[in-house]
C-alpha cells in the first residue's frame, strides 16, 4: 500500500461537481449517478472490498513509468498523481478516489488531464482505461 500522506493542505477534487473544459485533452470516469453529464464513461463496479481495490490500485500506480505521487491518502483513498510524457516530459495530472459500495463491492472515480496543449491524441483516455484494466488483472491474479 502506498503510504505517502498529505504533505500540504490540499483539496480533494470534487468529482461529483466536476465541470470539464472545452479541450479534448482530458478523460473522466466516475460511478453511475455521480456526474453522468460530464463523465466520458461509467466506472466499473469491482466485486471486491475496497481494501482489495486499494491494494490493486497501489500496485498499478507503482508499476507506471514517470509517475510522481503528489498525494496518496489511505484514509480518504484519494490520489493525486503526475505522469510525464516520455520524450518532452510534459506533465499530465491524474486524480482518483476509490469508493466503497458496501456489500456490492467497490468502484472509483478518475480524472486524467494534460497540463499543456489542446489535443492529447487520446493519451488520457488510453491511460485511464489501461489502469482500470490493469487493476482488474491484479485482482484476478490475487
Q: Report the C-alpha gap between 87 and 77 in whole angstroms.
A: 31
Give residue 91's pLDDT.
97
35: three-class secondary structure by DSSP: coil
Look at the chain and count its residues: 142
For the chain, what are the domain ranges? 45-141
* Domain 45-141: assigned CATH number: 3.30.530.20
pTM of the complete model: 0.91
Per residue in 28-64, pLDDT tens? 999 999 999 999 999 999 999 999 999 999 999 999 9
Pull the grid cell for residue 117: 496543449
Residue 140, φ and ψ in degrees, nearest 5: -65, -35
Amino acid at each position: 500500500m502506498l503510504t505517502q500522506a498529505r504533505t500540504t493542505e490540499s483539496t480533494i477534487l470534487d468529482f461529483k461537481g466536476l465541470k470539464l473544459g472545452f479541450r479534448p485533452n482530458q478523460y473522466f470516469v466516475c460511478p453511475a449517478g455521480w456526474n453522468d453529464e460530464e463523465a466520458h464513461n461509467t466506472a466499473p463496479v469491482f466485486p471486491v472490498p475496497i481494501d482489495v481495490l486499494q491494494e490493486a490500485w497501489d500496485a498499478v500506480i507503482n508499476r507506471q513509468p514517470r509517475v510522481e505521487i503528489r498525494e496518496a491518502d489511505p484514509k480518504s483513498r484519494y490520489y493525486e498523481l503526475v505522469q510525464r510524457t516520455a520524450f518532452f516530459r510534459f506533465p499530465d495530472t491524474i486524480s482518483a478516489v476509490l469508493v466503497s459500495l458496501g456489500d456490492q463491492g467497490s468502484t472509483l472515480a478518475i480524472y486524467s488531464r494534460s497540463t499543456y496543449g489542446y489535443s492529447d491524441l487520446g493519451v488520457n483516455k488510453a491511460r485511464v482505461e489501461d489502469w482500470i484494466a490493469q487493476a482488474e488483472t491484479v485482482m484476478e491474479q490475487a
